[in-house]
Structure 1
Protein backbone atom coordinates (compact mmCIF):
# COMPACT_ATOMS: atom_id res chain seq x y z
CA UNK A 1 0.00 0.00 0.00
CA UNK A 2 1.56 3.27 -1.12
CA UNK A 3 -0.87 5.65 0.59
CA UNK A 4 -3.52 5.07 3.22
CA UNK A 5 -5.92 7.57 4.79
CA UNK A 6 -7.65 6.49 7.98
CA UNK A 7 -10.57 8.42 9.51
CA UNK A 8 -9.32 11.70 8.04
CA UNK A 9 -11.38 14.80 8.73
CA UNK A 10 -10.77 18.43 7.81
CA UNK A 11 -12.69 21.62 8.56
CA UNK A 12 -12.16 25.35 8.16
CA UNK A 13 -13.39 28.31 10.16
CA UNK A 14 -15.42 30.81 8.15
CA UNK A 15 -17.33 34.00 8.97
CA UNK A 16 -20.45 31.83 9.22
CA UNK A 17 -18.76 29.33 11.56
CA UNK A 18 -17.11 25.94 11.14
CA UNK A 19 -17.24 24.35 7.70
CA UNK A 20 -16.69 20.58 7.62
CA UNK A 21 -14.98 19.61 4.35
CA UNK A 22 -13.94 15.98 4.89
CA UNK A 23 -15.67 13.67 7.35
CA UNK A 24 -13.92 10.48 8.39
CA UNK A 25 -12.34 9.55 5.06
CA UNK A 26 -10.84 6.06 4.58
CA UNK A 27 -8.94 5.60 1.33
CA UNK A 28 -6.13 3.37 0.01
CA UNK A 29 -3.91 3.78 -3.05
CA UNK A 30 -1.65 1.00 -4.30
CA UNK A 31 1.73 1.52 -5.95
CA UNK A 32 1.32 1.82 -9.72
CA UNK A 33 -2.44 2.41 -9.50
CA UNK A 34 -4.32 5.29 -11.12
CA UNK A 35 -7.44 6.63 -9.39
CA UNK A 36 -9.84 9.38 -10.46
CA UNK A 37 -11.26 11.47 -7.61
CA UNK A 38 -14.64 12.86 -8.63
CA UNK A 39 -17.44 14.84 -7.00
CA UNK A 40 -19.35 18.08 -7.19
CA UNK A 41 -17.69 21.43 -6.45
CA UNK A 42 -17.10 21.81 -2.72
CA UNK A 43 -17.16 18.07 -2.03
CA UNK A 44 -13.58 18.10 -0.73
CA UNK A 45 -11.64 16.70 -3.71
CA UNK A 46 -8.84 19.28 -3.72
CA UNK A 47 -8.69 19.24 0.08
CA UNK A 48 -8.13 15.48 0.06
CA UNK A 49 -5.45 15.86 -2.59
CA UNK A 50 -3.67 18.56 -0.60
CA UNK A 51 -3.72 16.42 2.53
CA UNK A 52 -2.31 13.43 0.64
CA UNK A 53 0.46 15.65 -0.72
CA UNK A 54 1.43 17.11 2.64
CA UNK A 55 0.30 20.59 1.58
CA UNK A 56 -2.06 20.73 4.56
CA UNK A 57 -2.73 18.69 7.68
CA UNK A 58 -5.99 17.07 8.84
CA UNK A 59 -7.94 17.83 11.99
CA UNK A 60 -8.11 14.11 12.82
CA UNK A 61 -6.93 10.82 11.36
CA UNK A 62 -3.79 9.32 9.86
CA UNK A 63 -2.20 9.71 6.42
CA UNK A 64 0.23 6.83 6.06
CA UNK A 65 2.98 6.69 3.43
CA UNK A 66 5.65 3.99 3.60
CA UNK A 67 4.72 3.38 7.24
CA UNK A 68 5.07 7.05 8.16
CA UNK A 69 2.17 9.20 9.37
CA UNK A 70 2.35 12.36 7.26
CA UNK A 71 -0.35 13.94 9.41
CA UNK A 72 1.99 13.90 12.41
CA UNK A 73 4.84 15.75 10.66
CA UNK A 74 5.67 19.41 11.19
CA UNK A 75 6.00 21.87 8.29
CA UNK A 76 9.63 20.90 7.64
CA UNK A 77 8.81 17.20 7.69
CA UNK A 78 5.95 17.65 5.22
CA UNK A 79 8.23 19.68 2.93
CA UNK A 80 10.77 16.84 2.95
CA UNK A 81 7.98 14.35 2.22
CA UNK A 82 6.82 16.40 -0.79
CA UNK A 83 10.36 16.70 -2.13
CA UNK A 84 11.13 13.00 -1.72
CA UNK A 85 7.84 11.25 -2.49
CA UNK A 86 5.30 13.48 -4.25
CA UNK A 87 4.89 14.99 -7.70
CA UNK A 88 2.23 17.67 -8.20
CA UNK A 89 0.45 18.66 -11.42
CA UNK A 90 -2.04 21.54 -11.38
CA UNK A 91 -4.18 23.16 -14.08
CA UNK A 92 -2.23 26.44 -13.68
CA UNK A 93 1.03 24.72 -14.89
CA UNK A 94 3.19 26.67 -12.36
CA UNK A 95 6.28 26.71 -14.57
CA UNK A 96 9.13 29.00 -13.60
CA UNK A 97 8.98 31.89 -16.12
CA UNK A 98 12.70 32.75 -15.89
CA UNK A 99 13.78 29.20 -16.83
CA UNK A 100 13.62 27.63 -20.28
CA UNK A 101 11.81 24.33 -20.85
CA UNK A 102 14.91 22.20 -20.34
CA UNK A 103 15.68 23.84 -16.98
CA UNK A 104 12.03 23.67 -15.87
CA UNK A 105 11.95 19.91 -16.52
CA UNK A 106 15.13 19.18 -14.56
CA UNK A 107 14.41 21.62 -11.71
CA UNK A 108 12.62 19.33 -9.22
CA UNK A 109 14.73 16.28 -10.06
CA UNK A 110 17.88 18.24 -9.22
CA UNK A 111 16.34 19.50 -5.97
CA UNK A 112 15.48 15.93 -5.02
CA UNK A 113 18.94 14.67 -5.96
CA UNK A 114 17.48 12.33 -8.60
CA UNK A 115 18.45 13.98 -11.88
CA UNK A 116 18.65 11.26 -14.55
CA UNK A 117 19.54 12.58 -18.02
CA UNK A 118 18.54 9.37 -19.81
CA UNK A 119 15.07 9.31 -18.19
CA UNK A 120 14.71 13.03 -18.91
CA UNK A 121 15.50 12.46 -22.60
CA UNK A 122 12.89 9.69 -22.71
CA UNK A 123 10.30 11.97 -21.12
CA UNK A 124 11.04 14.79 -23.56
CA UNK A 125 10.72 12.43 -26.51
CA UNK A 126 7.48 10.81 -25.38
CA UNK A 127 5.97 14.19 -24.51
CA UNK A 128 6.87 15.47 -27.97
CA UNK A 129 8.61 18.61 -26.74
CA UNK A 130 12.12 18.14 -28.16
CA UNK A 131 11.79 21.31 -30.25
CA UNK A 132 10.71 23.39 -27.25
CA UNK A 133 13.65 22.91 -24.88
CA UNK A 134 15.16 26.38 -25.44
CA UNK A 135 11.82 28.21 -25.23
CA UNK A 136 10.37 29.92 -22.18
CA UNK A 137 6.90 29.26 -20.71
CA UNK A 138 5.41 32.46 -22.15
CA UNK A 139 6.30 31.20 -25.63
CA UNK A 140 4.27 27.99 -25.24
CA UNK A 141 0.62 27.10 -25.73
CA UNK A 142 -1.43 25.78 -22.83
CA UNK A 143 -1.09 22.20 -24.00
CA UNK A 144 2.67 22.58 -24.40
CA UNK A 145 3.00 24.08 -20.93
CA UNK A 146 1.08 21.21 -19.38
CA UNK A 147 3.31 18.68 -21.14
CA UNK A 148 6.34 20.47 -19.71
CA UNK A 149 4.73 20.49 -16.25
CA UNK A 150 4.14 16.72 -16.47
CA UNK A 151 7.74 16.19 -17.57
CA UNK A 152 9.01 18.28 -14.66
CA UNK A 153 6.90 16.27 -12.21
CA UNK A 154 7.91 12.85 -13.52
CA UNK A 155 11.61 13.68 -14.05
CA UNK A 156 12.21 13.12 -10.33
CA UNK A 157 10.43 9.71 -10.45
CA UNK A 158 8.10 10.40 -7.49
CA UNK A 159 6.26 7.29 -6.24
CA UNK A 160 3.07 9.38 -5.93
CA UNK A 161 1.71 11.81 -8.54
CA UNK A 162 -1.17 14.09 -7.53
CA UNK A 163 -2.99 15.96 -10.28
CA UNK A 164 -5.70 18.57 -9.63
CA UNK A 165 -7.85 19.14 -12.75
CA UNK A 166 -4.71 18.99 -14.93
CA UNK A 167 -6.69 19.59 -18.14
CA UNK A 168 -8.93 22.35 -16.76
CA UNK A 169 -7.32 25.00 -18.97
CA UNK A 170 -7.17 22.84 -22.09
CA UNK A 171 -9.64 22.02 -24.83
CA UNK A 172 -11.11 18.50 -24.88
CA UNK A 173 -8.89 16.94 -27.54
CA UNK A 174 -5.71 18.44 -26.12
CA UNK A 175 -6.76 17.42 -22.61
CA UNK A 176 -7.41 13.82 -23.65
CA UNK A 177 -3.99 13.62 -25.30
CA UNK A 178 -2.25 15.07 -22.25
CA UNK A 179 -3.98 12.63 -19.88
CA UNK A 180 -3.11 9.70 -22.13
CA UNK A 181 0.56 10.70 -22.07
CA UNK A 182 0.53 11.25 -18.30
CA UNK A 183 -1.01 7.82 -17.67
CA UNK A 184 1.52 6.11 -19.90
CA UNK A 185 4.48 7.89 -18.32
CA UNK A 186 3.36 7.39 -14.71
CA UNK A 187 3.08 3.66 -15.40
CA UNK A 188 6.53 3.66 -16.99
CA UNK A 189 7.89 5.38 -13.88
CA UNK A 190 6.11 2.90 -11.59
CA UNK A 191 4.23 5.75 -9.94
CA UNK A 192 0.70 5.89 -8.56
CA UNK A 193 -1.62 8.62 -9.81
CA UNK A 194 -4.46 10.29 -7.91
CA UNK A 195 -6.26 12.77 -10.15
CA UNK A 196 -9.08 15.17 -9.35
CA UNK A 197 -11.41 15.60 -12.31
CA UNK A 198 -14.96 16.71 -13.08
CA UNK A 199 -14.92 14.75 -16.32
CA UNK A 200 -16.49 11.29 -16.31
CA UNK A 201 -14.83 10.70 -19.69
CA UNK A 202 -11.35 11.31 -18.27
CA UNK A 203 -12.17 9.34 -15.11
CA UNK A 204 -12.87 6.27 -17.23
CA UNK A 205 -9.29 6.35 -18.52
CA UNK A 206 -7.94 5.55 -15.04
CA UNK A 207 -7.94 2.21 -13.19
CA UNK A 208 -10.80 3.13 -10.86
CA UNK A 209 -12.92 6.01 -9.65
CA UNK A 210 -13.60 7.29 -6.12
CA UNK A 211 -16.53 9.67 -5.67
CA UNK A 212 -16.79 12.29 -2.92
CA UNK A 213 -20.11 13.74 -1.80
CA UNK A 214 -20.75 15.83 1.29
CA UNK A 215 -17.22 15.24 2.53
CA UNK A 216 -17.53 11.45 2.39
CA UNK A 217 -16.62 8.71 -0.07
CA UNK A 218 -19.83 7.23 -1.49
Structure 2
Protein backbone atom coordinates (compact mmCIF):
# COMPACT_ATOMS: atom_id res chain seq x y z
CA UNK A 1 0.00 0.00 0.00
CA UNK A 2 1.15 3.53 -0.75
CA UNK A 3 -0.93 5.08 2.04
CA UNK A 4 -2.45 3.32 5.02
CA UNK A 5 -4.46 4.94 7.81
CA UNK A 6 -5.29 2.83 10.83
CA UNK A 7 -7.48 3.91 13.74
CA UNK A 8 -6.85 7.59 13.01
CA UNK A 9 -8.53 10.09 15.32
CA UNK A 10 -8.31 13.87 15.26
CA UNK A 11 -10.04 16.52 17.34
CA UNK A 12 -9.74 20.27 17.82
CA UNK A 13 -10.32 22.40 20.89
CA UNK A 14 -12.62 25.39 20.43
CA UNK A 15 -14.20 27.91 22.76
CA UNK A 16 -17.21 25.59 22.87
CA UNK A 17 -15.12 22.56 23.84
CA UNK A 18 -13.44 19.67 22.04
CA UNK A 19 -14.79 18.67 18.64
CA UNK A 20 -13.83 15.28 17.23
CA UNK A 21 -13.32 15.54 13.48
CA UNK A 22 -12.10 12.01 12.68
CA UNK A 23 -13.32 9.11 14.80
CA UNK A 24 -11.16 6.11 13.94
CA UNK A 25 -10.40 6.06 10.22
CA UNK A 26 -9.09 2.95 8.45
CA UNK A 27 -8.15 3.47 4.80
CA UNK A 28 -5.69 1.84 2.40
CA UNK A 29 -4.71 3.20 -1.02
CA UNK A 30 -2.67 1.13 -3.46
CA UNK A 31 -0.13 2.28 -6.03
CA UNK A 32 -1.75 3.81 -9.15
CA UNK A 33 -5.21 3.65 -7.53
CA UNK A 34 -7.52 6.68 -7.68
CA UNK A 35 -9.81 7.21 -4.69
CA UNK A 36 -12.51 9.87 -4.33
CA UNK A 37 -13.11 11.16 -0.80
CA UNK A 38 -16.62 12.57 -0.48
CA UNK A 39 -18.97 13.69 2.25
CA UNK A 40 -20.79 16.70 3.61
CA UNK A 41 -18.98 19.86 4.69
CA UNK A 42 -17.43 19.30 8.12
CA UNK A 43 -17.25 15.52 7.71
CA UNK A 44 -13.43 15.56 7.99
CA UNK A 45 -12.31 15.33 4.35
CA UNK A 46 -9.79 18.17 4.41
CA UNK A 47 -8.52 17.11 7.84
CA UNK A 48 -7.81 13.61 6.52
CA UNK A 49 -6.01 15.09 3.52
CA UNK A 50 -3.87 17.30 5.78
CA UNK A 51 -2.89 14.28 7.88
CA UNK A 52 -1.90 12.33 4.77
CA UNK A 53 0.15 15.33 3.61
CA UNK A 54 2.01 15.58 6.89
CA UNK A 55 0.56 19.04 7.51
CA UNK A 56 -1.06 17.94 10.78
CA UNK A 57 -0.71 15.22 13.43
CA UNK A 58 -3.35 12.64 14.39
CA UNK A 59 -4.32 12.43 18.06
CA UNK A 60 -3.98 8.67 17.80
CA UNK A 61 -3.65 5.98 15.17
CA UNK A 62 -1.17 5.46 12.37
CA UNK A 63 -0.66 7.32 9.09
CA UNK A 64 1.74 5.11 7.13
CA UNK A 65 3.40 6.03 3.86
CA UNK A 66 5.45 3.22 2.40
CA UNK A 67 5.37 1.59 5.84
CA UNK A 68 6.72 4.66 7.67
CA UNK A 69 4.67 6.46 10.29
CA UNK A 70 4.41 10.09 9.15
CA UNK A 71 3.29 11.21 12.62
CA UNK A 72 6.67 10.16 14.06
CA UNK A 73 8.63 12.44 11.71
CA UNK A 74 10.39 15.52 13.01
CA UNK A 75 10.06 18.82 11.14
CA UNK A 76 12.98 18.09 8.82
CA UNK A 77 11.72 14.60 7.96
CA UNK A 78 8.22 15.97 7.43
CA UNK A 79 9.51 18.63 5.01
CA UNK A 80 11.46 16.00 3.09
CA UNK A 81 8.36 13.79 2.95
CA UNK A 82 6.30 16.60 1.41
CA UNK A 83 9.11 17.38 -1.01
CA UNK A 84 9.73 13.84 -2.29
CA UNK A 85 6.81 11.53 -1.47
CA UNK A 86 3.62 13.53 -1.87
CA UNK A 87 2.23 16.07 -4.32
CA UNK A 88 -0.64 18.38 -3.41
CA UNK A 89 -3.10 20.03 -5.80
CA UNK A 90 -5.26 22.70 -4.16
CA UNK A 91 -8.47 24.37 -5.30
CA UNK A 92 -6.45 27.58 -5.19
CA UNK A 93 -3.69 27.10 -7.74
CA UNK A 94 -0.80 28.39 -5.57
CA UNK A 95 1.50 29.04 -8.51
CA UNK A 96 4.60 31.18 -8.01
CA UNK A 97 3.75 34.48 -9.70
CA UNK A 98 7.38 35.45 -10.39
CA UNK A 99 8.03 32.22 -12.36
CA UNK A 100 6.79 31.47 -15.86
CA UNK A 101 4.85 28.31 -16.69
CA UNK A 102 7.95 26.25 -17.53
CA UNK A 103 9.66 27.18 -14.27
CA UNK A 104 6.51 26.58 -12.21
CA UNK A 105 6.15 23.08 -13.66
CA UNK A 106 9.77 22.11 -13.00
CA UNK A 107 9.93 23.70 -9.54
CA UNK A 108 8.78 20.73 -7.43
CA UNK A 109 10.68 18.15 -9.50
CA UNK A 110 13.94 20.05 -9.05
CA UNK A 111 13.38 20.34 -5.30
CA UNK A 112 12.78 16.58 -5.16
CA UNK A 113 15.86 15.97 -7.37
CA UNK A 114 13.64 14.18 -9.91
CA UNK A 115 13.73 16.64 -12.78
CA UNK A 116 13.23 14.77 -16.06
CA UNK A 117 13.01 17.01 -19.15
CA UNK A 118 11.51 14.20 -21.27
CA UNK A 119 8.71 13.56 -18.76
CA UNK A 120 8.15 17.31 -18.40
CA UNK A 121 7.87 17.65 -22.17
CA UNK A 122 5.27 14.88 -22.16
CA UNK A 123 3.32 16.64 -19.41
CA UNK A 124 3.32 20.02 -21.11
CA UNK A 125 2.15 18.44 -24.37
CA UNK A 126 -0.64 16.37 -22.76
CA UNK A 127 -1.77 19.33 -20.64
CA UNK A 128 -1.88 21.59 -23.69
CA UNK A 129 0.62 24.03 -22.16
CA UNK A 130 3.34 24.19 -24.81
CA UNK A 131 2.14 27.53 -26.26
CA UNK A 132 2.16 29.09 -22.77
CA UNK A 133 5.53 28.04 -21.31
CA UNK A 134 6.94 31.59 -21.39
CA UNK A 135 3.82 33.15 -19.86
CA UNK A 136 3.29 33.99 -16.20
CA UNK A 137 0.35 32.81 -14.05
CA UNK A 138 -1.48 36.15 -14.26
CA UNK A 139 -1.56 35.76 -18.05
CA UNK A 140 -3.45 32.45 -17.89
CA UNK A 141 -7.09 31.46 -17.50
CA UNK A 142 -8.23 29.54 -14.43
CA UNK A 143 -8.27 26.25 -16.32
CA UNK A 144 -4.76 26.86 -17.66
CA UNK A 145 -3.47 27.70 -14.18
CA UNK A 146 -4.94 24.49 -12.80
CA UNK A 147 -3.24 22.52 -15.57
CA UNK A 148 0.06 24.12 -14.59
CA UNK A 149 -0.56 23.18 -10.94
CA UNK A 150 -1.22 19.58 -11.96
CA UNK A 151 1.88 19.53 -14.15
CA UNK A 152 4.00 20.86 -11.30
CA UNK A 153 2.75 18.10 -9.00
CA UNK A 154 3.13 15.29 -11.54
CA UNK A 155 6.56 16.41 -12.76
CA UNK A 156 8.14 14.97 -9.62
CA UNK A 157 6.31 11.64 -10.03
CA UNK A 158 5.31 11.48 -6.34
CA UNK A 159 4.05 8.11 -5.09
CA UNK A 160 0.95 9.89 -3.72
CA UNK A 161 -1.07 12.82 -5.09
CA UNK A 162 -3.53 14.60 -2.79
CA UNK A 163 -6.07 16.85 -4.50
CA UNK A 164 -8.52 19.08 -2.60
CA UNK A 165 -11.45 20.06 -4.87
CA UNK A 166 -9.02 20.62 -7.78
CA UNK A 167 -11.81 21.51 -10.21
CA UNK A 168 -13.90 23.54 -7.75
CA UNK A 169 -13.02 26.88 -9.36
CA UNK A 170 -13.62 25.68 -12.93
CA UNK A 171 -16.73 25.39 -15.07
CA UNK A 172 -18.05 21.86 -15.59
CA UNK A 173 -16.60 21.28 -19.06
CA UNK A 174 -13.15 22.59 -18.11
CA UNK A 175 -13.25 20.67 -14.84
CA UNK A 176 -14.04 17.41 -16.67
CA UNK A 177 -11.13 17.95 -19.04
CA UNK A 178 -8.73 18.74 -16.20
CA UNK A 179 -9.85 15.66 -14.24
CA UNK A 180 -9.40 13.43 -17.30
CA UNK A 181 -5.86 14.71 -17.71
CA UNK A 182 -5.06 14.28 -14.03
CA UNK A 183 -6.29 10.69 -13.95
CA UNK A 184 -4.49 9.74 -17.16
CA UNK A 185 -1.19 11.35 -16.21
CA UNK A 186 -1.28 10.05 -12.63
CA UNK A 187 -1.55 6.52 -14.03
CA UNK A 188 1.34 7.22 -16.40
CA UNK A 189 3.43 8.43 -13.45
CA UNK A 190 2.43 5.41 -11.33
CA UNK A 191 1.04 7.74 -8.66
CA UNK A 192 -1.84 6.96 -6.32
CA UNK A 193 -4.48 9.70 -6.18
CA UNK A 194 -6.68 10.71 -3.24
CA UNK A 195 -9.12 13.38 -4.40
CA UNK A 196 -11.56 15.31 -2.23
CA UNK A 197 -14.74 16.30 -4.06
CA UNK A 198 -18.33 17.23 -3.27
CA UNK A 199 -19.40 16.00 -6.70
CA UNK A 200 -20.77 12.46 -6.89
CA UNK A 201 -20.55 12.73 -10.67
CA UNK A 202 -16.79 13.34 -10.54
CA UNK A 203 -16.28 10.79 -7.75
CA UNK A 204 -17.87 8.06 -9.86
CA UNK A 205 -15.11 8.48 -12.45
CA UNK A 206 -12.38 7.34 -10.05
CA UNK A 207 -11.50 3.74 -9.20
CA UNK A 208 -13.17 3.87 -5.80
CA UNK A 209 -15.32 6.20 -3.70
CA UNK A 210 -15.00 6.62 0.07
CA UNK A 211 -17.73 8.52 1.91
CA UNK A 212 -17.01 10.28 5.20
CA UNK A 213 -19.95 10.87 7.52
CA UNK A 214 -19.51 12.47 10.95
CA UNK A 215 -15.82 11.60 11.04
CA UNK A 216 -16.25 7.97 10.05
CA UNK A 217 -16.16 6.04 6.79
CA UNK A 218 -19.76 5.23 5.90
CA UNK A 219 -20.72 1.75 4.82
Question: Shorter-chain TM-score: which interval?
Answer: over 0.9
Shift of 1:78: 1.2
Q: Deviations over 1:74-103 (max 9, x none)?
A: 222111111110000001000000000000
Displaced runs of 4 or more, over 4 A: none
Query: Equivalent residues in 2 for 1:91-102 (5 A)?
Result: 91-102=91-102
- Determine the C-alpha separation between the residues in 1 that align with 2:44 and 2:67: 25
Check the 8 A contact 1:123/1:155 in 2, yes or no.
yes
- Determine the C-alpha separation between the residues in 2 that align with 1:76 and 1:47: 22
With normalisation by structure 2, the TM-score equals: 0.99
1:16 counterpart = 2:16? yes
Q: Which residue of 2 aligns with 1:188?
A: 188
Q: Deviations over 1:175-197 (max 9, x none)?
A: 01000000000000000000000
What SS does structure 2 have at the residue aligned with 1:19? strand
Unaligned runs of 5+ in 1: none
Check the 8 A contact 1:61/1:71 in 2, yes or no.
no
Q: Deviations over 1:29-58 (max 9, x none)?
A: 000100000000000000001101111110
- Determine the C-alpha separation between the residues in 2 that align with 1:42 and 1:61: 20
With normalisation by structure 1, the TM-score equals: 0.99
Shift of 1:71: 1.3
Shift of 1:73: 1.2
What SS does structure 1 have at the residue aligned with 2:135? coil
- Determine the C-alpha separation between the residues in 2 that align with 1:182 and 1:189: 10
- Determine the C-alpha separation between the residues in 1 that align with 2:157 and 2:208: 22
- Determine the C-alpha separation between the residues in 2 that align with 1:117 and 1:217: 41
Q: Deviations over 1:98-155 (max 9, x none)?
A: 0000000000000010000000000000000100000000010000000000000000
Shift of 1:65: 1.1
Check the 8 A contact 1:102/1:134 in 2, yes or no.
yes
Q: Which residue of 2 aligns with 1:172?
A: 172
Q: Which residue of 1 aligns with 2:126?
A: 126
Unaligned runs of 5+ in 2: none
- Determine the C-alpha separation between the residues in 2 that align with 1:75 and 1:56: 11
Count residues in correspondence.
218
For the aligned residues, what is the CA RMSD?
A: 0.6
